[in-house]
Amino acid sequence: MTNENLAVGIPTPVKIFTWILICAGCFFFYVYTFNPVISFPNASLDTYSAKMGFASTGVRILGSVLALFISVLANNPRWLFITLISRIFIELGDVVAGLILDGLTANTFSLTVLAGLEIWAVLRLWKVIKTDQ
């Protein structure tokens, strides 16, 4: 097994997309954890469960950002591949929940587009990983 393609690492367009995800993730970590009214104008943080729900979502986002950051700094296509696969499932789960709770909104549309872009990145990474074997 050679490591020629893996040595090249993550394709540049996927790296750029990953850095965009990292920046957006940092912003949404802030929004969900500290100021959810920015994205959810009717958000009420009057109850413990609402505060915990937003804060735990922020922590989930931060964990994903950390995994993306480590993967791109290490220039490791395999790590980024598995990180993006998990994000795709999370995004699609959020789409389903959003459709059930609110119907088709800008948020569900945006999450669907995001999942599509993550699928594009995964397919690019898959080519790098598969041609290495």
Tens-place pLDDT, residues 27-52: 999 999 998 888 888 888 889 998 99
User: How much is the pLDDT for 74?
Assistant: 96
Does 132 score more than 80 pLDDT?
A: no
Find out whether 9 and 77 touch, Cβ atoms under 8 Å. Answer: yes
Nearest-angstrom CA–CA distance, 111 and 93? 10
The model's pLDDT over 56-72, given as tens digits with 9 standing for 90+, comes to 999 999 999 999 999 99
First-to-last C-alpha distance (Å) of the chain: 6
The model's pTM: 0.87
Q: Distance between CA 64 and CA 87 in Å, rounded?
A: 8
pLDDT at position 3 over 70: no
Exposed/middle/buried for residue 53 (C-beta within 10 Å: 0-12, 13-18, 19+): middle
